[in-house]
Structures are given as structure tokens and as C-alpha cells.
A = this chain, B = another copy of it.
Amino acid sequence: MVAESLVHADLRGIESHGLSRLPIYVQRIEAGLIELSLPPEPVTRQGATSLIDGKNQLGAVVGMAALEEAMELARQNGIGFVGVRHSNHFGSCSYYAEKAIAAGMILLVLSNAPSAMAPTGGIQPFFGTNPIAIGIPAGEEPAYLLDMATSVAARGKIALAAKTGTTIPQDWAIDADGLPTHDPHKALLGSLLPIGGAKGYGLSMFIDILCGLLTGAAAGASVKSLYDNWHDPQNIGHVFLCIDVQRFLPVDAFLQKMDEYIREIKKVPRAAHVAEILIPGEIEQRKMAAHKQDGIPLTQTVVEDLNKLCSGYGIDLAQAVYRV
């Protein structure tokens, strides 16, 4: 599951959530901070809701258990709401959204994450970049797949700008005094900014309350870093909300409506420099098709990291590689 989740992200061109994460996952397993022996376990299941204890398993394993539970609850009740505690970094949210789409269902996935973003008016990170992903199937047109952080930019993009010596847009981050900055070095000592100002702060807080406070996972500044904390499990929380379309109209009719709707959107008059209006997830879907054809262009850094990882386990990376 973890391998599939990471390759899924690389196929979609989301390198930040691809094989580049494998070394840190393995390092945390080696450090005893991720549990491999116990499977995720339901704590309660009542009506259309479930609470799952991830038992500190690898995030993708916990996420898949929650997805299956949410889809099962939705089949029975029209909607399924699954809260998850004691989980870890669970890869790209789009991994789960894509599976729901394939099953003809609507899925909303939320997760909290380690501190990176201050509340509006604050200058120290408190909330994570708390992502939200939504998958909605379509017929012949590309499915809708939104996968977004509630911050304007990812911390990784700022780190990259610092490395390459470029400036960053002023709406990405504030410095340690809370002032807007174009300097990525100052931004890394400060705090990411939420989308839409106080609106993004509100959305991030909502995700944290549902994923953290409601489920019994960590929340706010208590969510542990994947990279910087070597003492504690992350105790990340997720929420999976699944809707069974056919409670409202036949699936075929819905897919046809989605197709017509998407075609209407694509027909909206465009700005001079815009060749085409794209649906959320369409760029990634095209990258996936291309990468399935031509292979995934991994960066030299990722290949070196994987080689290093493999050699420690007596594996020859070149022999392990194959094309889909």
C-alpha cells in the first residue's frame, strides 16, 4: 500500500509525496517510531460513523483501512464518516480520492499535519498545512480531483528557493516578526501563510478540530514532525467522508451531468494567454498518463537516496526497477 501510494504521487508528478518520502518512512520504522505488527483497529462503529485507531501503523495502511470503512458505511447509509487517530504521514490524499472515484463514489479526505502556519495575527507556526482532497467521478470527461494544502505554498517550495537562491512571492510566508517577506531564508524561520488570509486560517483550524480534537489524535502544535522529532509517534488524525451518489440519482445520470457540466466550464471564454480551462486534477491526470507511457523521471537526489537506502538492506536498486 505504501509503495503504491508513493508511486501514485510520482505518477501524478507530485514529487514531494512520491518515493522521496521512502527513506524517512524507513528511518522512522528503524527508530521504532512506526508500528508494523498491529493492524489499524475500529474503536467504535455506530450508524454512519466510525472511529479508527491507526495503532501507529504506516499512514497509507491506516488511510486505506479508513477509506474502505468510509465506503462501506456510505454503501449502507448513503454517507460514511470515519475519524482516525494515531496515524502517520499517509502520503498524497489524492491516492484515496482516486480509489473512491474508481468506485463511483464522492470522497472528502482531511488530515492534520505538523505545525507550519500561524493563526492570523500570530507569528509562530501552530497549524499544519492541513490538506483537503476531494474526488468526484465523471463519465467521459476527466474526473474532478482536488488535492490542496490550506497554505498558499508548501514549505518544500520555500526550502527549494533558499537552495537555488531565488526569491519567493510575498503571499507565501511571513518572517519571524510576522512581516511579509520575499526572502526564503527569512520565511523558513517564520511561518507559512494560509490561502485567502483569515479564511484559510479558519479552514485549517476546522480540519485540525475534526482530525485532531474529535478523533483523539494530536492537534495544533502537538502533532509531531515527520523529520524533526525522534522521540514520539506523529499521532496524526484524518477524516474520511464518503458519499454514495446513487442515494440522490442513478450513477449513470450523475456521470452524464458531470460530463455536461465540465464541458460547460471548458467552454467559458478564456484570457488571451490561456489555451484551455482545466478541471482540478486534470494536469496530474495527464502527467500520470505520460509517466505510465514513458516512466517516471526521478531526480538524481531521489535516486541517490534510494540507492543508499537499498544498499543498507543489501538490495540492488537497478535490479529492483521495472517499468509498469
Residues of A within 8 A of B (CB): 44, 46-49, 51, 76-79, 81, 83, 106, 118-124, 126, 134, 136, 144, 146, 148, 152, 174, 177-179, 195-196, 198-203, 205-206, 209-210, 213-216, 219-221, 243-245, 247-249, 254, 257-258, 261, 264-265, 268-272, 274, 276-280
Query: Does B265 lie within 8 Å of A119, measured CB to CB?
Result: yes
Pairs across A and B, CB under 8 Å, 17 listed: A46-B78, A47-B79, A49-B243, A49-B244, A83-B248, A106-B214, A122-B270, A126-B264, A144-B205, A146-B203, A148-B199, A177-B272, A195-B196, A196-B200, A205-B280, A219-B261, A220-B261
* Smallest CB separation, A190 vs chain B (Å): 10
Decide if A206 touches B270 in the complex (CB within 8 Å).
no
Please, which residues of chain B bring their CB within 8 A of the CB of A269? 122-124
Whether A265 lies near B144 (C-beta < 8 A) is no
- Distance between Cα atoms of A46 and B77 in the complex (Å): 7
Main SS class of interface, A: mixed
CB distance from A135 to the nearest CB of B (A): 10
